[in-house]
């Protein structure tokens, strides 16, 4: 038996034992292929807008041939990240949508894209969006209902379970047994949680019986350990609720801030007894662990709605590396057009990651944040100027892919 046999067997057994609600796929032979001498890692986040209002709708669209999915795949083929989070990718327990996207889109050369792209490892799991809570969370006097009323009373807004889900794709093996998810963590468990209040009287907006049951994460928070050639990297991914679509109680604004704060607590509190994952393991990330935080965090450091201090404090956390903010020519171009129309950003227009229409303009909402211990070799936002040929594939979503290249010293 050669030296690779035992790791291969272990990887295969790990995949066979995975929970049926969690979809992890792996190619055992890819373990050896991925263990090259290259210790650089390109990490990306991309809000793909690959969601549908109908349960199973994304599957049907992908089966029929979806133009937006082709553009998303083309961008990924051009940037070719080693590790990427896809936000707003509808979850289904069988992983059918992920299968279709990987087989029929990523693995096929797309117009404007690059060579076919294959990821031997992936992770997806249930999220809170669209999951009925059985409670009247929006305060309209009834629990559930139809359409938006049903969505507002789900644990996270969504018209069906799994809408706006998350998908992690990786060139390197995922340690399935050590993945941590925080889908069920109660908001009230967080010390100093920002409980929404009625500004008219200062009283809690949620009744105590509801507040005690509310989940913090609008989708989920995942710690996905990835075995790279230079050691384990914890991929910390999430998609906090937008800080809008609420009322004067600001329930979505304060929830967004506390969802972002959860990562600060995770980095700062390795022994926190309240910080328990869905498997019952408590505590934050060990102090010596290397990580990359990624996702559409729905919070700009200086523009738009939301509690800006939440994202600023994460950016300035002692364990988060300082590096030049990713930028693009397209963001500068679109920002200038909005400025002429009277929408002026306080932050640098070059740093925006999406165009959110004439009311909001451009904002920086998507982040890839490596930990200290990495050397940042480069970064960018895939948002070409309109005159560039690549612009033809950059409008598959209102967000744009953000990437960072990191160098790692082996451990």
pLDDT of residue 39: 66
Average pLDDT over residues 311-329: 98
Check whether 4 has a pLDDT greater than 60: no
Average pLDDT over residues 190-196: 97
pLDDT of residue 296: 98
pLDDT of residue 23: 59
Contact 397, 49 (CB under 8 A): yes
- Cα 316 to Cα 319: distance, rounded to the nearest angstrom: 8
- Cα 255 to Cα 249: distance, rounded to the nearest angstrom: 11
Q: Which residue has the tokens 């609720």?
A: 241
- Cα 351 to Cα 328: distance, rounded to the nearest angstrom: 7
- Cα 388 to Cα 270: distance, rounded to the nearest angstrom: 47
Tell me which CATH code domain 5-127+162-184+218-408 carries.
Answer: 3.60.10.10
Domains of the chain, residue spans: 5-127+162-184+218-408
Residue percentage of the chain with pLDDT more than 90: 88
Check whether 248 has a pLDDT greater than 90: yes
23 DSSP β-pair partners: 124
pLDDT tens profile 207-216: 999 999 999 9
pLDDT of residue 409: 79
Average pLDDT over residues 34-43: 66
- Cα 73 to Cα 62: distance, rounded to the nearest angstrom: 12
Phi/psi region, residue 256 (left: phi>0; alpha: psi -120 to 50; beta: rest), is alpha
Check whether 7 has a pLDDT greater than 50: no
- Give which of 21, 55, 206 is closest to 132, Cα–Cα: 55
pLDDT of residue 230: 86
Which pLDDT band, with edges at 50, 70 and 90, does 15 fall under? Answer: very low
Check whether 6 has a pLDDT greater than 60: no
Helices (H), 65-177: 67-79, 96-101, 147-152
> What residues contact residue 220 under an 8 Å CB cut-off, 6+ apart?
125, 126, 127, 128, 166, 181, 182, 183, 238
- Give which of 166, 264, 159, 250 is closest to 200, Cα–Cα: 250
Which pLDDT band, with edges at 50, 70 and 90, does 20 fall under? Answer: very low
Residue percentage of the chain with pLDDT more than 70: 91
Which pLDDT band, with edges at 50, 70 and 90, does 22 fall under? Answer: low
Check whether 24 has a pLDDT greater than 80: no
């Amino acid at each position: 038996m050669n030296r690779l046999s035992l790791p291969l067997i272990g990887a295969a057994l790990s995949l066979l034992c995975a929970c049926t609600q969690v979809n992890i796929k792996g190619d055992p032979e890819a373990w050896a292929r991925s263990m090259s001498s290259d210790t650089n890692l390109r990490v990306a986040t991309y809000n793909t807008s690959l969601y549908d209002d109908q349960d199973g709708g994304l599957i049907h669209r992908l089966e029929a041939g979806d133009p937006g999915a082709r553009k998303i795949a083309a961008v990924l083929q051009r940037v070719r990240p080693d590790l990427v989070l896809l936000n707003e990718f509808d979850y289904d327990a069988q992983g059918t949508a992920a299968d279709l996207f990987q087989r029929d889109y990523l693995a096929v050369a797309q117009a404007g894209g690059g060579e076919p792209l294959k990821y031997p490892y992936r992770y997806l799991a249930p999220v809170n969006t669209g999951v009925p809570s059985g409670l009247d969370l929006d305060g309209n006097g009834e629990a559930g209902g139809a359409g938006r009323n049903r969505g507002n009373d789900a644990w996270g807004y969504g018209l069906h379970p799994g809408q706006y889900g998350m998908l992690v794709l990786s060139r390197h093996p995922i340690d399935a047994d050590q993945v941590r998810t925080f889908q069920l963590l109660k908001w009230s468990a967080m010390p100093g949680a920002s409980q929404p209040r009625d500004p008219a009287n200062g009283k809690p907006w949620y009744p105590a019986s509801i507040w005690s049951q509310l989940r913090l994460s609008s989708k989920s928070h995942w710690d996905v350990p990835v075995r790279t050639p230079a050691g384990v990297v914890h991929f910390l991914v999430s998609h906090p609720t937008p800080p809008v679509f609420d009322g004067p109680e600001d329930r979505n604004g304060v929830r967004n801030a506390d969802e972002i704060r959860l990562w600060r607590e995770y980095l700062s509190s390795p022994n926190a007894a309240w910080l328990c994952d869905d498997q019952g393991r408590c505590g934050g990330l060990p102090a010596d662990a290397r990580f990359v935080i990624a996702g559409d965090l729905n919070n700009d450091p200086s523009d738009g709605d939301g509690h800006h201090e939440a994202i600023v404090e994460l950016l300035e956390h002692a364990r988060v590396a300082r590096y030049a903010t990713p930028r693009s020519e397209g963001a500068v171009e679109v920002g200038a057009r909005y400025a002429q129309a009277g929408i002026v950003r306080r932050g640098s227009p070059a740093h925006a990651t999406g165009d959110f229409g004439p009311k909001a303009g451009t904002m920086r909402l998507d982040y890839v944040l490596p930990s200290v211990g990495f050397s940042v070799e480069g970064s960018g936002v895939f948002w070409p100027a309109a005159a560039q040929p690549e612009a033809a594939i950059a409008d598959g979503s209102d967000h744009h892919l953000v990437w960072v290249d990191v160098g790692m010293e082996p451990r």
